[in-house]
Every structure is written in structure tokens, then in C-alpha cells.
Structure 1
Amino acid sequence: MSSRSTPRRAVLAAALAVTAAAAPLSSVASASAAPRGGPGRPDGSVDYRAWTTFPQWAGGRGAGTRVLGGARPGLVLDRPLGTVEYTDPHTGTTARWEYATWHSPVHVLPEPASEIVVSWNARTPAGTWLQAELRAAYTDRTHSPWYVMGRWTSGDGAGDIRRTCVDGQGDKKSSVSTDTLAVDDPSGGLRLASYELRLTLHRRPGTSRTPTVWRVGAMASDIPDRFTVPASRPGEGAGHALRVPRHSQEIHRGQYPEYDNGGEAWCSPTSSTMVIEYWGRGPSREDLAWVDPAYADPQVCHAARHTYDYQYKGCGNWPFNAAYAATYQDLQGVVTRLRSLNDAERLVRAGIPLITSQSFLATELDGAGYGTAGHLMCVVGFTGDGDVIANDPASPSNAAVERIYKRRQFENIWLRTKRYNAQGQVRSGTGGICYLYFPLRPTTRQARALASVGVR
């Protein structure tokens, strides 16, 4: 989400179906299991579920796809089911594509949810792309349509589609806003009881190229409306900080208007770049050859180009950023929610920085010097008193990126779901949303920290 800009999402801070119809989702009764942390928690429920292992992939229903084994199991296009025409709304080009599909098992949520965000990790060689879809069962035992949660490719060459979300999807019970499926009126009690994911892999006819999908998952949540959240006490992260590279989005102001003009619009790819580099990854010199040599930090320009959503018209699509991070060798990326800064401390103490999304008035975060309708930054550590050490890309220079923000202020603007804007109007908050990027083979401590926040 762009710093200091009006958010395009209607929810959380905020169509053409090209595949054959799937088998109906099984009827599912309302879930009754308690959410992680016990029943009746005032901070609501969060459930992240992913498919990554060979047995998990094999447990889905493939049609024309094949599961690869090895160190990083994944899904590939094997024998196409046929061809389909797709007219790219952003280029006007109509092309024919071979395709195959994979359907996840139905995932019954441990606690009914009001919102779901899907994310994936994949590689798409030139001339290939994927579509991720979701279908939910409501607690009233009806079902949503199949919603397109993203059409994605890692490249943008002449033979590639333009990566895009799909607007205008809804059934008068729920709707999709950019990257988030949400119940339209959660105050009425309706919730999402379960869901099924569908992947459709595409390639140019007559070629053997294929997307490879290593991870697909979804974060389902039901966070109560709240303007303030309970304060946490400093925990195991206090006094610990990670050496995360620092990059300013502001030094790119006015660069590449075709990718939303740099500056305040590039908080998400700039934050992603910082964490990708922390893990020792990044684009090659050849990858960066297209960037104007007069521009500093060309890797940030590269991230903006390769996270740009042509429908959203910006670089702030959450799953697209996680997918971009995972295009680098043995790196994974997910979108999820955390419950408190104690969760963040556990991750940081294990060596995992996180990218958080928040919105606030200038008076609500001392030291920021700005207000924003939606902004991404990196949490890289905590002072001895538990205040947040953040790499905030909304800084005038790389040297000025590291900031210290008061714990109580930061926690509230990140975890709340309701806020007042400068005109006194009620607007949505992000409810603890974050990106987590981590290695394919995390250390034991890192794996335990990730598991403690529901990511495996």
C-alpha cells in the first residue's frame, strides 16, 4: 500500500474465468474448534494453511498437472487438458494457452472467518503464467463462486500476460478487493466456514515450459472491530536487532511512471527489497541492465516493476510481493497476520524480520513525520525497553531509514481494524497484516518461531 496515498482497497487497510468448472465444494458445517490461543479471545482468530510437501500436493485433485519430488516439491503442467483463449485487459492481446488444473482439498477452518488472503510461491518461465482462485463455503451452508485471487507471472516480456488482480467480483455476500476476499457485512453474523483453492497453470501451445508452484496457502481471519488493542509487554525480542539493509523509497520519487512513479508509491517493493537482501538474495547485474544507470539502488526499481499490479495500478498487492520474494533461490514468502508485538519479537529473536502494513495520522506515530492511509515498513528489532526498531522506507535517504517508534503507538496502529482519518471519518485498519520471507530450510529456532505464528 502506498505511503501517504488513498488506499485502493476497501477492506483490511483498505472476470473472466478461464478454466473449466470444478466439482462442487463439499457441504461443511460451521466449524467449532477453538482458534489458536483458546476460545473467546478478544483478538479474534487467524488460520494460515499451506500446501508445500509432496504428500500435500498429491492429496489435491490434479487434472493435467504433476507433482515433482525432490528437495523442493512442486506442481507443474504435465499434460494439458486443452486450450483456452485469454484476452489481456491491459494489452488488448488475445492469445491461446494450454492449461491444467489442481484443486486443494477442502480446508475446514478451526474458527469461521470474515476475510481470506491467498498467497503463493512459484516460478513462471517466459510464456507461462498461473491463476489462483478460491471458493468458500459460508456458515449458512451456501457457497461463494470461484473468485480469482490473482493472475500472476514473474516476468513481463512480450509473450507474457500482465500480472493483475480482478475487480468486480462478488455475490452479495462477499466480494474481492484487490487481494482480499471479505464478507460484505460481518456484523450480520455470516462467516466463511471453509474454502478450497484452485490453481490453473498456463503455457504457450506447443512448448514444454511450465510454471512450477512450490507453495500455495491462505490466511483466514476474523478480527473484531477495534480502535485500540491491548498493550503487550516487552518480551524476548527486547534489546535485539537484525542487520537489515536500508533503502529509501523517497530517493526514487518520479522514477518509472509506468510502475506508479516511485517515491511514496514504492513502500512495499522497497520493504521487500530490504528483507530479500537480508537473506543474501537479489537480482543479478544482468537482471538490472534495464534500469537507468543514473538511478541509485536499481534493485528497488526492479522490485517495483516485478510486483506491479496492472489493475490495482500499484506495487502494493500483498501476494504479488510475497510471490516476487520467492522467485529468488530457496526463499519463501507468505502473507499472514500476527496477534501482538510479542509474536513479532519471537520472529526477530529467531532472525526473521517482518514487513508490516499500517495506517495512521501524523500525530499517532511520534518520529514518523507523516500520516498515511496505508504504508509498509520492516520491523528489524526492539530496543531494551521494547520499542520498535523499524526500517521505514518513507525516509529522505538510506541513512535515515532506521527509526525507533514507541511500542504502544506502533502496536496500536498496526493491529487495530478501525481508525479515524484526518477528517474524523471512520476508516479501516490493517489488523496485524504482514509479509514473512524466510529460507526454504530455516534453522530449528526459526522453524519454531514460524510455527508459533501458524506458518509451516
Structure 2
Amino acid sequence: MTSTPRRTVLAAAVAAVGTATALSATPALAAGRPGRPDRPGRPGRPHADSTIEYHAWTTAADWRQGTGDGVSVVGGTRPGVRIADPVGTLEYADPHLGTTRTWEYATWLSPVRTPATPGSELIASWNTDTPAGTWVRVEARATYSDGTESPWYTLAVWASGDEDVRRASLDGQEDGKSTVWTDTLAIDDTDSGLRLASYRLRLTLHRAPGSDATPTVWRAGAMTSDVPNRFEVPASTPGVAAGIELTVPPYSQNVHVGRYPEYNNGGQAWCSPTSSQMIIESWGRAPTPEDLAWVNPDYDDPQVCHAARFTYDYEYGGCGNWPFNAAYAATYPDLEGVVTRIASLDEAEELIAAGIPLITSQSFYEAELDGAGYGTAGHLMTVVGFTDDGDVIANDPASSANSAVRRVYRRRQFENIWLRTQRYDEAGQVRGGSGGVCYLYFPTTPAPAQRRALRRLGLC
């Protein structure tokens, strides 16, 4: 079957404000407590038959393996690349600000990465500091299994702020073999046998001419995968996280309905930033009062509004760009964010048992998930634990109030709607599924058990 364009994230969300505290290595365990249009999906990885591979460049040695032009490598606890001597200037016409400005720039080009299994999809993610007057362009180029190469595809114009440039993806890039769908580079016709055999990432760092400011990129990586389309995934059994629940603040996206139309109007459109804010705060991080000064003081949970503004993709027109959410999380001190896929609830349990909550992307009609009370073409929620019987404890932002966010979903139902790549909607039409897409946020220096769980997923 030929894969079709897919977008798997609706929107819904809500968050809570908190005072920034020291980043803990592990969220506390709770004591005694029992969008977007569809696009083709794929699951899988650390299982032996999984095709998921995540690879990143994060260490000083990693950065030196790449080809830099005008950049230098910085060391310390969070090594990265930054502008040293700009190689020239360029003009960037921002279609969303309506401005054309000249910028100094420098570049870093990754080594060629050849996954163990050629992929049908690639999702890149990055962590970077972009002070005022700076921004980063993230690009990818693939070598196909037939030996030809894709063009350089722009995956993001990224800045943590929104005054110098407007962060944006760039839909519609294609070469007759692959297409960029907002945050995913995908082979057009998977039945043809064509795959992404290898890839490179390119970072272009920009700053205002004559400035001493510079972006610093700490992490650049990509997940590739190639899993056959499937309507059903194998059932798992309760494992190492049975009876464990992490303490994660509950925030409802629906209390924000109608707020900030310029950031897609709250409510169902804010599931991704609401979920992100929940997990960010579970690690003891939150916006400062100064950060939140722009939010209407009559609004509760202003940090959710903040997350929506600073994850908003001006090209896509929403807050559901997966890597933009991970990059937003990484703007908080000593926090990293990645987008990947995982193969099963077993791997999710390993993360929960190590103290790492996760954000999952799924689509379903109402009868497929008991207790949800809604259906969705794409929605983000957080997995925060498992019951003694192995059912999933989720903070689901698609709730009427913060007090209603904590849900328990049946294990079998949840794993299937999350990990499948195809589904039927209520009208019997075939649609796509996310295939196990998740966001993971974790400390720059994780605890030993966390490091082991992340290492098994190729994340550290």
C-alpha cells in the first residue's frame, strides 16, 4: 500500500504555574494513588525486530566529527557548537513577520549517519539556546537506497523567541521520492522499496551583523524507522512499572478554549504544549513571573499559554509540531528534549520505572478508548504510571478541568491506538496512526537508572 500524507497530533492542553526549583534527578512517586491531519505512521525499535533508530550528536567529540565552517566547539557539562567567525552574511525574508533582514551565519554539517535499517521516515529534533538576535535553521539530506540524493530539506527555522524571526516548518518540500510533512521527512511510496539509506543534518547558526550574541546547539539528532503498516500490534503484559505512578502536575487544555487566537485559540489545539508543560514542571522547571508577564492576568495556568506561544509553528499554524515542543522543553535549564518512537509498552514501563514520564501521540474514535469520552484524529497526552494490573495512568489534557486530567486507560486499548500505524475511523475509512511517537524530556545529567533506560532507546 502506498503511504499517504499524515499528521498525527490534534491539540488540547493545559498547564500549571510553579516556582522554578532545583532540577531533581527523578520525579517523586505519588504515594498510594491507585492536531493535525493524519499522515503515515511507523512504530518500533529496541526490540530485536524493531527498525527504530535514534542517533544524536551531543558530546564535544561528536561535534568535532562534523564539518564546521565558522563555528567552534564549546565544552562543559553541555557541549555544543556556536558561532566563532561568521563565514558571511545572507538575507532572510520572513514570510510571517513580513521583514527582510541581513544576518551573519556559520554552519555545522554532521557526519553521514547510516541506520542499521534503512528508514521510510525521519524526524529530527534539536536542543539549542537562541538569545535575542539569533536563530538556527535545521536541514536534512538523505541518500536513498537507489544511490540518489534528496535535496537539502529545511525542517525548521527555529528561535526560542518570536521577535527576530518566526519559528516555522516548511511544508510542501518534495523531489518525487520523498516529502516533508511539517516535522517528518517521509518516503512517498513505501511499496516501491525505496528507503532512506543514510542522512546528514546541517545546522546554520545566525546572528545580527556585528553582534557578539550566538546560538549554541547542544543536541542535534534524528529518529529513523521503517515498520510495515499495521492495524494491530502484539499485546504486552504488565512489567516493571506495575504499581508505579510519577508525580506530574495535571493541566487541562480545555480551560483555555478561546484564548489567544493568534496561537490557535486554545482548547483542543493546545494538547501538545499542555502536555509539554506538565512534564517540564514534573522536573521542577517552570517559566518565571517575568516570562509570564505578557499573559492576561485573568487567565489561570498562564504557563500553558506561555508554552503555546513558544511552541507555535507559524507555517503549520498550530502548536503540535513535535520537535518544536522538544526544543521548547530544552530551553529550560539542564533539561533535554527529543522526539522518537518506541516499540512497546514494555519500553514505556522501563522509562516510568526509571522515573521518566513520556508524552504520547495517538488517534482513535471514541469507542476505541474506554473512559476518554472523545475521539480524535491526533492527540497528545502524558503517560505517568501504570496500575498494579498494568493499565495506563495518563494525564490527559483533553479534560474539563485540572481535577479531571488523571485517567486510567485499559492497557490493551491504549497500546494499540498509540503503536499502530493504520486505523479505521468511525466511517470505516483507513487513516494513519503515529506508530509510537513520543516526546521524552530528561535531565542533562540523568540518574544512573534513567541513563540505562535512555541508553536502551539510543538516547544517551
TM-score between both structures, scaled by the size of structure 1: 0.93
Match for residue 10 of structure 2?
2
Aligned letter for 1:2?
L
Matches within 5 A, 1:221-300: 221-300=225-304
Asked if 1 retains the 8 angstrom alpha-carbon contact of 2:119 and 2:226, the reply is yes
Aligned-residue CA RMSD (Å): 1.3
Q: Which residue of 166, 170, 195 maps to 1:162?
A: 166
Distance 1:46 1:423 in 2: 31
Match for residue 79 of structure 1?
85
| Alignment of 1:98 onto 2:108 | no
Distance 1:363 1:7 in 2: 20
| Alignment of 1:189 onto 2:212 | no
Distance 1:9 1:394 in 2: 19
Asked if 2 retains the 8 angstrom alpha-carbon contact of 1:358 and 1:429, the reply is yes
Match for residue 348 of structure 2?
344
C-alpha offsets along residues 5-40 of structure 1, whole Å, 9 cap, x if unaligned? x62463439xxxxxxxxxxxxxxxxxxxxx7533xx
C-alpha offsets along residues 64-105 of structure 1, whole Å, 9 cap, x if unaligned? 011001111111011111100110011221111100000000
Count of residue pairs the alignment pairs up: 429
Asked if 1 retains the 8 angstrom alpha-carbon contact of 2:36 and 2:320, the reply is no
Q: Which residue of 95, 108, 112 maps to 1:89?
A: 95
Aligned letter for 2:328?
Y
Give the deviation of 1:3 after TM superposition. 3.9
Match for residue 171 of structure 1?
175
| Alignment of 1:202 onto 2:206 | yes
Match for residue 433 of structure 1?
437
Match for residue 362 of structure 2?
358
Q: Which residue of 124, 129, 132 maps to 2:130?
A: 124
| Alignment of 1:12 onto 2:41 | yes
Asked if 2 retains the 8 angstrom alpha-carbon contact of 1:9 and 1:177, the reply is no
Give me the identity figure in percent: 64
Distance 2:447 2:69 in 1: 35
Match for residue 118 of structure 2?
112
Distance 1:125 1:345 in 2: 37
Q: Which residue of 39, 47, 56 maps to 1:37?
A: 47
Asked if 2 retains the 8 angstrom alpha-carbon contact of 1:420 and 1:426, the reply is yes
Higher relative contact order (CA closer than 8 Å, sequence separation 6+) = 2
Q: Which runs of 5+ in 1 are unaligned?
A: 14-34
| Alignment of 1:146 onto 2:146 | no
Q: Which runs of 5+ in 2 are unaligned?
A: 1-8, 13-34
| Alignment of 1:50 onto 2:56 | yes
Distance 1:195 1:82 in 2: 26
Give the deviation of 1:353 after TM superposition. 0.1
Give 4+ residue runs of structure 1 displaced > 4 Å after superposition.
none
TM-score between both structures, scaled by the size of structure 2: 0.92
Match for residue 326 of structure 2?
322
Distance 1:225 1:2 in 2: 21
Match for residue 16 of structure 1?
none
Cα 1:128–1:8 shift into 2, 3 Å: farther
Distance 1:8 1:92 in 2: 27
Distance 2:39 2:210 in 1: 41
C-alpha offsets along residues 147-178 of structure 1, whole Å, 9 cap, x if unaligned? 00111000012xx1000001220110001000
SS in 1 for 2:166: coil
Aligned letter for 1:271?
S
Distance 2:60 2:358 in 1: 28
C-alpha offsets along residues 196-245 of structure 1, whole Å, 9 cap, x if unaligned? 11000001111011001100000000111000000001100111100101
Asked if 2 retains the 8 angstrom alpha-carbon contact of 1:11 and 1:177, the reply is no
Aligned letter for 2:448?
T
